[in-house]
Amino acid sequence: DTAVSQTPKYLVTQMGNDKSIKCEQNLGHDTMYWYKQDSKKFLKIMFSYNNKELIINETVPNRFSPKSPDKAHLNLHINSLELGDSAVYFCASSQDVREGPEAFFGQGTRLTVV
């Protein structure tokens, strides 16, 4: 059973297109995250939701819009894709803040914008 699963695993698309990445966790966690990992392997948080409520919104272009239909799902929609959006996007989840800081990551979505 996959704890945090993302789809698709690979995504190749042209500049200007709109695309979505989906994430689901079956761990019963309250908090979910989207991270971006660039070509230099630097991992940077983009968004965090706790019980469907946005709690962290880093400086991310408005073209990126997260949506959490329920606490087990957090999707990422990207409008008007640009070359600089090429990266690996990781979804993660963590349990209640009182339980410890561990975040569980999905396998990543490798986005290539051409």
Partner 1 sequence: QKEVEQDPGPLSVPEGAIVSLNCTYSNSAFQYFMWYRQYSRKGPELLMYTYSSGNKEDGRFTAQVDKSSKYISLFIRDSQPSDSATYLCAICWGGNNRKLIWGLGTSLAVNP
Least distance in Å: CB of 40 to partner 1?
A: 7
If binding is defined by CB under 8 A, does position 43 make contact with partner 1?
Answer: yes
Q: Is 90 exposed, middle or buried (0-12, 13-18, 19+ CB in 10 A)?
A: buried
Query: How far is the C-alpha of 45 from the C-alpha of 101, rounded, in Å?
Result: 15
Binding partner 1 (rule: CB under 8 A), the pick from 42, 69, 84, 114 is 42
Least distance in Å: CB of 8 to partner 1?
A: 14
Give the side-chain half-sphere CA count within 13 A for 18: 6
Instruction: Write out the residues near partner 1 by the rule CB under 8 A.
Output: 4, 31, 40-45, 48, 56, 90, 92, 94, 97, 100-108, 110
